[in-house]
Each structure stands twice: as structure tokens, then as C-alpha cells.
Structure 1
Amino acid sequence: MKIVVTGSLGNISKPLTQELVQKGHSVTVISSNPERQKEIEAIGAKAAIGTMQDVDFLTTTFTGADVVYCMEALGAGAFFDPNLDLFVAINTIVTNYKQAIEQSGVKQIVHLSSVGAHTNKDNGSLTMHYNAEKIINELPSDVSIKFMRPVGFFTNLLRSIPTIKAQGGFISNYGGGTKEPWVSPLDIASVITEEIELPFNGRTVRYIASEEASPNEIAKVLGEEIGDPDLKWMVISDEQLLNGMISAGMNPQIAEGFVEMQASQGSGLLYEDYYRNEPTLGKTKLSDFKKEFAKVFNQQ
């Protein structure tokens, strides 16, 4: 099949492209960075250099494709841009996708969404995925769409490395011994590959997860791997977390969204629809990710 992959060679799009090429598909990867072209071609895919803000470019690239994989991403440092409206920025990208899909005539879409996209209440920043699904769902009924809803990425834990080094542990507004689902980008790529090769029919939703682990378990496993068996997952108040993020220069709207999202993780509200539609867990576990975590930890 002819498949278009958005997201350049990111944590999901790179292994996804590799899997699709290995399975014999003709893959075109969209990237805004011309320097990525050689790396994309080295994998065996074609590079389409352009931006998600250019509807004409997207339309041209989508035309003739059997399947398009759509994901929304903002540039590095965007969360620290004081002028950014996260929801407007994401809605703009999704609306561009929608227009390009209609104009190109492509009929099969895989859209990367997120856990929490089932509601626009009490899920903080994840409301952007609820909004995105709503916009994509406005496509004509003859366009089949598969919404992929992964849970929190293992790789998000890498963001806590500076905090661990400076303050001696993970810091959040929730914690404890209650398990929650986590996912590896590698497992997300494998599920998307599977869904691309399965028949499309109407609108479907699939959750993606790799393992369930509590904050305390995560701190124990990762702490032992980096030589700090007493590493803790420390809990502070919503206000303290918000003030810390804003003091670090984060966009206040995004900081508030993160705090609300993480509170929803702690209460379990975020996972209500996930557990109503619980998936089979993927093969990549915390015991696999801990090696990546330690490598990055030791490099920083």
C-alpha cells in the first residue's frame, strides 16, 4: 500500500516507518526539516519536506495514498512560548489535515489521539485530543478513521531526569501505590502497523498500553537501574507544582493543563474509558525501558 506518515522521524513515526517499509509498503514521510531527508531515504521511505500549516502541500502529499497516518506535534520549546495557545495551535493543524484529506480524496485515516480524548472535562491539556477527534470526525462518512489512544509514554519519564539530579526524586501532584497504564512508542508503532493492515470500516477507537505500574514501582525500578535504590516519587500540591512549572518558564496555560491532567491520573478519572475498553498489553515493559532511562540519565 501507499502510506503517508506524518511526524517526521519522531519516537513513534520512525519505528512505524521502519515496520511499514519492512513489510513492503511504499511509505512517504512528511518532515519540516530538510536535513531529515537523507535519514528518511536511508530507511527506505520517501521524504516530503513541508509543514502541517500548508494545506496545499498536505493535499499534494496525501493524493494517491491508500492510508494516511496523522499526528499533531508542536516545535521544540513550544511549551515555553508565552504567546502560544495550545488548543488553537492543535485545532489549526487538525483542521488542515481535515481539509487536505477532503481535497486529496484519501479514504482511510489512522489518527494518533490519546487516553483522555473521550471527554473534555477534568483532563487538562488532553482536551486538545478530544477537540482533534471531534474535528476529524466531521469528515464525510465515506472516510474511515481509526483513532489510536495511547496512554502515558514511558519516555515522558525522561523529562524528570533534571529534577532527579537537582532535587533527588520524581516530583508530581500524585503518586503512591496505585497502578496506572504506561506505553512504549515501539508498541504504539506496532499497533498502528497492525491497524493499517487490517480492514477499515467506519470509525473505531483502540487504546494502546504496554504495562501497568504505580509511581512507587517506577521510582524503585528506575532508581535501582541508575544506582539510587532509595529514589522516591515525591508528591506536592497542585499549587506547588503549578508555581514550579511557571517559575521554570512554562506557558501558564500549558502548566495549568499539565497539573489538571496529572491530578486526573492520580484520581483515576483519566482512565475510566480506558478500563471500559482495556487493550491487550504490548511487549515492551518497564524492565526494558529502564535501560534507556539509565543511558539518558548517565549522559546528562
Structure 2
Amino acid sequence: MNIVLTGSLGNIGKPLAKALLQKGHSITVISSNADRQQEIESLGAKAAIGSMHDAAFLTAAFKGADIVYLMETLEAVGNFFDKQLDFIAAISQIGRNYKQAIEQTGVKQVIHLSSIGAHMDKGNGILAFHHNVENILQQLPGDVAIKFMRPVGFYTNMFSFVRGLKAKGAIVQNWGGDDKEPWVSPLDIATVIAEEVETPFEGRKIRYIASDEVSPNEIAAALGDAIGKPDLAWQVIPDDQLLENWLAIGMNPQIANGFMEMQASMRGGVLYEDYFRHRPTLGKVKLTDFAKDFAAVYNKD
């Protein structure tokens, strides 16, 4: 099949492209970075260099595709320290660009990388953009089959702990404790999406993706062991203190407030209610596996 992948060769895109090429599919990878073209082509895929903000480019790239894989990331929109940028509005516009390109090209099979929390119309913080884009794509004609993939929190988000760890010797967040919560490896996400490519498309489908279920205190123990700090603590501070810390270093207020609210919804499991109602089979990459990668990043500087 002819498959178009958005998201360039990132933590999901690269293993996904490799897996689909190995299965004999014809792959086009969209990237905004022209420097990626050679790497894309060296894998055996075609490169389409352009912007998700350009609906005409997306329409040209989607032409002739049997399946399109759609994703949006905050990082692709701009810098978290750009105080003027409306991230949620910018990503919602990408969703509308996707919808327009699908309608104009007649693509009938879509896989959309959404997120846990996308079922919530409020209280999900920065994840509101996933809710918005799901709703935009739901407006496509009924004969367009869509698979909404909802991964949970990425292990790789924990790399953001490194700076605080080195400054304060602890993980400092506005949630914590012993309640288990789901986390996922980008490799397991790629595996699931590759499976879905070869599973029949019909109607609208939602699938959660997770690799492991662990508590914040278990995370602190695993990461602490990996970096040689077995007594590593996970400290919980009030929402307003965390927000103040982020604003003090110059974060975009929408991003800072959005992450604070999202993490507050993790407290008590509000964010995870729909996940646990539709609990998936867990993937292969466990927290102890990721801890090795964390240690490598922690020890690099």
C-alpha cells in the first residue's frame, strides 16, 4: 500500500517507517526539514519536504495515498518560551489542514496519533489540542475510516526531570505518590500503528497504547537506581508553586498553565479514567528498560 507518514523521522516515525518498509509498503515521509531528505531516502522511503501549516502542500503529499498517518506535536509548532504563540490554536489549524487535504484527495483510511485525555473537553490542560483535532477529524465524511490512537505519557517526557535532578537532587512535580499510572515507549507506539496499518479499517476506532503501569514513587526508585542515586525522592509541590517556577524561567503562559493542569489531572487518576475503562495489552518496553536510556542522558552532561 501507499502510506504517507507525517512527523518526519522522530522517535515514532523512524521505527514506524522501517517496520512498514520491511512489510513491503511504499512509504512517503513528510518532514519540514530538508536536511532529513537524505536520511529518509536512505531508508527506502520517499521524502516530501514541506509544512503541516501548508494545506496545499499536504494535499499534494496525500494524493494517491491508501493510508495517511497524522500526528501533531507542540514542538513542531514552536518554542515553549515564545510567549506570543497560541499553541492550541496553531495545532487546531493543522487539524483543519489535514481534514482539507483528506477531503480534497479522497483518502479513505486514516490513522491519527492522538493522546490520552483526548476524550475530555475540559480539565486536560495542554492535551486540549488532541481533543480539538479529534473533533475536527470526526467531521470528515462517514466513508472515511479513522483509527484514533491514544498513547499515554511518553517515557521520553521524563528527560525533562534531568535539569531539576541536577539542580535539586530530586524529582519535583505537582503530582506523585503510589497510585499506578500508564507510560509508553515510542517503540511500542510504532509497533501498534504498524499493526493497525494491516488491520481492516471500518468506521471510527479508538485504541489506547501503553507499555507499563507504575507509580511516581516506583519511577523515582527505578531512575534513581539507574543513575546511582538509590534514595532519589519524588517531591510533590502545590500547583501554584510549580506554575510559578515555570513562568519564572520564561515559559509561554499557555504551555506552563497547560502542563500544570494536565499534571494536576493525573493526581487521583482523573486523566486515566477512560484509559482504565478500555485498558490495552501492555507493550514490551518496560520502565526498567527506559531507565537505562534515562541514565545515558543524565550522565551525558
What's the TM-score once normalised by structure 2's chain length?
0.98
Output the CA distance in 1 between the equivalents of 2:291 and 2:78.
Answer: 26
What SS does the aligned partner of 1:78 have?
A: coil
Alignment-mate amino acid for residue 122 of structure 2: K
Give matches, 1:1-300, under 5 Å: 1-73=1-73, 74-75=75-76, 78-300=79-301
Write out per-residue CA displacement over residues 8-34 of structure 1, whole angstroms, 9 at most, x where no aligned residue. Answer: 111111111111111111100000100
Write out per-residue CA displacement over residues 84-110 of structure 1, whole angstroms, 9 at most, x where no aligned residue. Answer: 112111111000000000011111000
Displacement of 1:76 in angstroms is 7.5
Write out per-residue CA displacement over residues 106-136 of structure 1, whole angstroms, 9 at most, x where no aligned residue. Answer: 1100000000001112111111111110000
Alignment-mate amino acid for residue 19 of structure 1: A
What SS does the aligned partner of 1:30 have?
A: strand
Output the CA distance in 2 between the equivalents of 1:267 and 1:246.
Answer: 25
Displacement of 1:287 in angstroms is 1.2
Displacement of 1:78 in angstroms is 2.0
Query: Are the structure 2 counterparts of residues 217 and 15 from structure 1 closer, same or farther at C-alpha, using a change threshold of 3 Å?
Result: same
Alpha-carbon contact 2:77-2:90 (below 8 Å) kept: no
Gaps of 5+ in 2: none
Output the CA distance in 2 between the equivalents of 1:197 and 1:78.
Answer: 36
Query: Are the structure 2 counterparts of residues 268 and 130 from structure 1 closer, same or farther at C-alpha, using a change threshold of 3 Å?
Result: same
What SS does the aligned partner of 1:56 have?
A: helix
Displacement of 1:201 in angstroms is 0.1
Displacement of 1:36 in angstroms is 0.2
Aligned pair count reads 300
Write out per-residue CA displacement over residues 205-239 of structure 1, whole angstroms, 9 at most, x where no aligned residue. Answer: 00000000000001101111111111111110000
Identity rate of aligned residues, in percent? 63
Output the CA distance in 1 between the equivalents of 2:36 and 2:150.
Answer: 27
Alignment-mate amino acid for residue 7 of structure 1: G
Output the CA distance in 1 between the equivalents of 2:251 and 2:186.
Answer: 25
Gaps of 5+ in 1: none
Output the CA distance in 2 between the equivalents of 1:281 and 1:171.
Answer: 27
Write out per-residue CA displacement over residues 155-188 of structure 1, whole angstroms, 9 at most, x where no aligned residue. Answer: 0001110110011111110101111000000000
Output the CA distance in 1 between the equivalents of 2:56 and 2:271.
Answer: 37
Q: What is the root-mean-square deviation in Å for CA atoms of aligned residues?
A: 0.9
Alignment-mate amino acid for residue 121 of structure 1: K
Displacement of 1:77 in angstroms is 5.3
Structure 1 window deviating more from structure 2 (77-86 vs 253-262): it is: 77-86
Alpha-carbon contact 2:77-2:91 (below 8 Å) kept: no
What SS does the aligned partner of 2:246 have?
A: helix
